[in-house]
């Protein structure tokens, strides 16, 4: 009797649960990948290959299509391939796609309530407040802070190459970035380049670390949003939340008490709070083409949407994957995509390419808020390195980069190794 019950149980589960879900794309008449639980679990959870490479596999599989239906575990997702459709989603029809589709539990995980994750009115209000953070005047001021950090960066690198000629450049660049955040965001003189204020660096590292628990939570967050809400899951650890919340609180308090102004992010937050109280380099570009730090972005349908040129209606809540990495490597837009060729960004060559085929910072109203700042930081750091050091490939360098399939963003598995020799010139 028991085996019979099991067989009936499996059949009922298949008929009432699996079958309606698995025919989702078929019913919509959208070209699609079929739903295979085991394959989906291994691709989404174990991330083999890396998310960037997997998105490219899917992109290539549907060559010639404008869009395709894919799966994130049980959740159907639209893969947008056509730059015109991507333009419509990111810009023209933003009103239908204003959310990234990330659920958060604000109470349990206050750090989750950030601009990247917010949607609807909350996103709109915060984005308009923060747009001013990168005005020309503020960027000018931050440039001076960046220059101070870049001098420290140069001197730390000079110290390292006294004893080693092969350097893993990712870790030291991450420390440079951490110091810049300390200066420009929190207004504190941290020095992780020389191993001081190391807690700042370990917390920074933890924010980007992807443990098994985080991987599981992210799958639940994207594929089973209701369950994520129900279990009140939080992605940021107690330690990270405590450290950052206390840092902001302490800095606020110190500035208020001493009446200190530094024109940085904390001052912007202070300004916002006061108002509320009263009234209620071409090479760099090619690098971002080949290795976009964020290899894909998502949007979620917020009002039911008809795919332009078709009668396919996408329901509210359906997510769409915009495969930045795969588009950047499509030979149709970038012939011989593995080749590093900064000339692809000459004005004439650029004109030949359709719009929305270069998206390292996303696009439309949710375009990366810190893009100008990030570009400035990279340029200032790189200039210091190029001015003072000669860099070359070494036996530990890997080409092409082997991707880290556990990293949150696009990253190399074995680090980025180069041989570094100081040139004679020494800046002050």
Q: What is the CA radius of gyration of the chain?
A: 24
CB of 89 to ligand HEM, least distance (A): 10
CB of 338 to ligand HEM, least distance (A): 20
| Residue count, binding to ligand HEM (CB under 6 A) | 17
Nearer to ligand HEM, 70 or 181 (CB): 181
Does 173 sit near ligand HEM (CB under 6 A)?
no
Residues 374-403 that bind ligand HEM (CB under 6 A): 374
CB of 131 to ligand HEM, least distance (A): 9
3-state DSSP call for residue 101? coil
Does 248 sit near ligand HEM (CB under 6 A)?
no
DSSP 8-state assignment for residue 90: I
Nearer to ligand HEM, 35 or 86 (CB): 86
Does 367 sit near ligand HEM (CB under 6 A)?
yes
The span from the CA of 402 to the CA of 409, in Å, is: 14
Residue 140 CB: number of other CB atoms within 10 A?
Answer: 10
Q: Considering only residues 110, 337, 370, 415, which one is a binding residue for ligand HEM as defined by CB under 6 A?
A: 370
Does 301 sit near ligand HEM (CB under 6 A)?
no
Joined tokens for residue 293: 């730090």
CB of 364 to ligand HEM, least distance (A): 6
Nearer to ligand HEM, 67 or 373 (CB): 373
Does 372 sit near ligand HEM (CB under 6 A)?
no
Annotated binding site for heme: 368
The span from the CA of 39 to the CA of 45, in Å, is: 10
CB of 329 to ligand HEM, least distance (A): 16
Residue 159: which region, alpha, beta or left (left: phi > 0; alpha: psi -120 to 50)?
A: alpha
Q: Is the dihedral of CA 68, 71, 75, 80 positive or negative?
A: negative
Nearer to ligand HEM, 78 or 297 (CB): 297
Does 110 sit near ligand HEM (CB under 6 A)?
no
The span from the CA of 388 to the CA of 390, in Å, is: 7
Does 111 sit near ligand HEM (CB under 6 A)?
no
Q: Which residue stretch of 192-200, 232-240, 306-314, 369-377 sits at the interface with ligand HEM (rule: CB under 6 A)? A: 369-377
Q: Considering only residues 69, 225, 362, 381, which one is a binding residue for ligand HEM as defined by CB under 6 A?
A: 362
Nearer to ligand HEM, 15 or 340 (CB): 340
Q: Are 264 and 280 in contact (CB under 8 A)?
A: no
Annotated binding site: 368
The span from the CA of 86 to the CA of 323, in Å, is: 10
Joined tokens for residue 143: 């440039």
Residues 207-246 that bind ligand HEM (CB under 6 A): none
Q: Considering only residues 207, 294, 383, 416, which one is a binding residue for ligand HEM as defined by CB under 6 A?
A: 294
Q: Comparing C-alpha atoms, which of 284, 282, 293 is closest to residue 401?
A: 293
| Torsions phi, psi for 350 (to 5 deg) | -60, -40
| Torsions phi, psi for 335 (to 5 deg) | -55, 145
DSSP 8-state assignment for residue 16: I
CB of 236 to ligand HEM, least distance (A): 16
Q: Which residue intervals of 106-197 are DSSP H helices?
A: 120-130, 136-163, 169-184
Residue 55's H or E segment, with its range, is: helix 51-61
Q: Are 281 and 382 in contact (CB under 8 A)?
A: yes
Q: Comparing C-alpha atoms, which of 235, 225, 218, 359 is closest to residue 300?
A: 225
Does 328 sit near ligand HEM (CB under 6 A)?
no
Residues 125-164 that bind ligand HEM (CB under 6 A): 127
Nearer to ligand HEM, 228 or 373 (CB): 373
Q: Comparing C-alpha atoms, which of 361, 363, 388 is closest to residue 375?
A: 361
Q: Which residue stretch of 36-44, 48-56, 337-345, 357-365 sits at the interface with ligand HEM (rule: CB under 6 A)? A: 357-365
Q: Comparing C-alpha atoms, which of 264, 241, 221, 257 is closest to residue 100?
A: 221
Does 368 sit near ligand HEM (CB under 6 A)?
yes
Q: Which residue stretch of 158-166, 193-201, 206-214, 359-367 sits at the interface with ligand HEM (rule: CB under 6 A)? A: 359-367
Does 25 sit near ligand HEM (CB under 6 A)?
no
- Binding residues for ligand HEM, rule: CB under 6 A, are 115-116, 127, 293-294, 297, 360-363, 366-370, 373-374
């Amino acid at each position: 009797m028991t085996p019979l019950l099991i067989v009936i149980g499996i059949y009922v589960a298949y008929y009432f649960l699996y079958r309606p879900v698995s025919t989702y794309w078929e019913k919509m008449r959208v070209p699609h990948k079929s739903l295979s639980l085991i394959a989906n679990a291994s691709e989404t959870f174990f991330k083999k290959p890396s998310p960037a490479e997997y998105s490219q596999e899917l992109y290539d599989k549907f060559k010639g299509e404008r869009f395709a239906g894919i799966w994130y575990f049980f959740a159907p997702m639209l893969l947008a391939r056509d730059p015109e459709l991507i333009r419509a989603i990111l810009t023209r029809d933003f009103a239908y796609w204003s959310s990234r589709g990330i659920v958060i539990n604000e109470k349990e995980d206050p750090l989750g309530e950030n601009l990247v994750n917010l949607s609807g009115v909350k996103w709109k209000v915060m984005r308009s407040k923060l747009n001013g953070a990168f005005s020309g005047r503020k960027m000018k001021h931050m440039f001076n802070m960046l220059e101070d950090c870049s001098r420290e960066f140069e001197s730390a690198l000079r110290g390292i190459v006294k004893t080693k000629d092969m350097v893993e450049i990712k870790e030291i660049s991450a420390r440079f970035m951490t110091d810049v955040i300390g200066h420009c965001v929190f207004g504190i003189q941290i020095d992780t380049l020389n191993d001081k204020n190391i807690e700042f660096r370990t917390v920074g590292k933890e924010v980007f670390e992807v443990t098994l628990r985080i991987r599981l939570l992210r799958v639940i967050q994207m594929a089973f949003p209701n369950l994520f809400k129900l279990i009140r899951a939080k992605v940021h650890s107690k330690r990270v939340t405590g450290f950052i919340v206390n840092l902001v609180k302490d800095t606020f308090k110190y500035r208020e008490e001493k009446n200190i102004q530094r024109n940085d992010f904390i001052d912007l937050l202070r300004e916002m709070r006061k108002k509320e109280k009263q009234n209620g380099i071409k090479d760099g570009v090619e690098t971002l083409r080949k290795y976009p730090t964020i290899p894909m972005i998502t949007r979620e349908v917020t009002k039911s949407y008809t795919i332009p040129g078709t009668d396919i209606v996408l329901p509210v809540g359906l997510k769409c994957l915009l495969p930045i990495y795969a588009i950047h490597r499509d030979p149709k837009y970038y012939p011989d995509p593995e080749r590093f060729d900064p000339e692809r960004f000459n004005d004439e060559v650029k004109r030949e390419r359709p719009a929305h085929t270069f998206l390292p910072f996303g696009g439309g109203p949710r375009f990366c808020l810190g893009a100008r700042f990030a570009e400035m930081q990279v340029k200032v750091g790189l200039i210091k390195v190029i001015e003072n050091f000669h860099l070359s490939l070494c036996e530990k360098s890997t080409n092409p980069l082997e991707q880290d399939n556990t990293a949150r963003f696009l990253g190399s598995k074995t680090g980025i190794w180069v041989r570094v020799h100081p040139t004679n010139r020494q800046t002050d």
